[in-house]
Amino acid sequence: MGKAVLDIARYIDHTLLKPNATKDDIARLCKEAIEYKFKGVCVNSSFIPLVATLLEGEEPIPITVVGFPFGASLSSSKAFEAKEAVSAGAQEIDMVINIGALKEKQYNLVYDDICAVVSECKPCLVKVIIETCFLEKEEKVIACALAKVAGASFIKTSTGFAEGGAKVEDISLIKSIVGDTMQIKASGGIRTYLDAIKMIEAGAERIGSSNSVNIIQGK
């Protein structure tokens, strides 16, 4: 499968979050993840039982999203969704922050929202999606700090459903804030091998993409 697979595959969460995805689509996603040895398979939570079954005994791990894609759900709903997903086999949770609350400077609400999910997921890792395209620089800094204090393991740039995706300058900024205390997942608009390499060089430890196969084939 070549050098590109060995260099990139372990960074990739092979992703399918479209609302019209079918069981056959998810099965194909899992098959590709196993074949190319991706890090994980990221799907909507209703598919987690299927993904957990298909990936049993294999290298890729089941991952799901919570409060997706807007982050505007009740914290109690996010926490319950996360708990149910972990019970169904999810090993990592990618949650969306309450973006409106952050912009209104309701920092306690944002912090408590993240904590609610983190507390229900232990020992599973939580990635906090901050949706960088909606935030000013200062807001990105604050969002990262809140996620860190709340006990999350990753900062994730984007849902892929907003108008902007991952940018190298955002990865560099996040890295300057969290250093080695948290990891970074670049997600949204990463479609080529070169895109992925740029994100990794800037500090990303994980790549979220629905174009994963093309990425590792160097396209």
What positions carry a catalytic annotation? 94, 156, 185
Angle at CA 66, nearest 5°, toward 60 and 70? 125
Count of CA atoms in the C-beta half-sphere (13 A) of 189 = 15
CB burial of 141-167 (b: ≥16 within 10 Å; e: otherwise) equals ebbbebbbebebbbbbbbbbebebbbb
- Residue bearing tokens 């972990």: 86
